[in-house]
Amino acid sequence: MKLTTAEEQLMEIIWDKTELYMKDIIDHYDEPKPATTTIATLLKRMQDKNFVGYKLTGNSRLYYALVKKEDYFSKHVNGLIKNFFGNSAMQFASFFTRETNLTADELENLKRIIDQEIDKKKP
């Protein structure tokens, strides 16, 4: 399931802080801060999508993520590869290394990561 841009922005806050009350969530937004009702609506939609849960502490709700950031973005990237690159990770990697403005150092680091993954998969 996909999140809207506003929901992703809110999830970033929750992923970063692990558990937050509504007031803490709103405090993380820049001015002009969104209305409490807007955040409540987003949280409700995200609960319906099983991305966010909460526990009651007194009269307040302490919100937390039900989906790990890595899991969400892994599905997102895999969907991108499937929809835009014909389900070819090779085409995606080729595009990514050519079309992003990676420095030589960043490409070297990426190469090291790839080499490590190759070593792990060798018998």
Other Cβ atoms less than 10 A from the Cβ of 96: the count is 13
Tokens of 45: 């939609």
Q: Can you tell me the distance from the alpha carbon of 100 to that of 33, in angstroms, rounded to the nearest whole number?
A: 33
CB atoms within 10 A of CB 67: 19
CATH of the domain at 54: 1.10.10.10
**Secondary structure letter of residue 68 according to DSSP:** -
- Give the list of residues 6+ apart from residue 67 with CB closer than 8 angstroms, or none: 11, 50, 51
Are 53 and 83 contained in the same domain? no
State pLDDT tens for residues 27-51.
999 999 999 999 999 999 999 999 9
12 with 42, same domain: the answer is: yes
Provide the number of structural domains found in the chain: 2
DSSP run (H or E) holding 8: helix 5-17
Q: pLDDT tens, 44-100?
A: 999 999 999 999 999 999 999 999 999 999 988 888 889 889 989 889 888 888 888
Domain finish residue from 65, 82, 103: 65
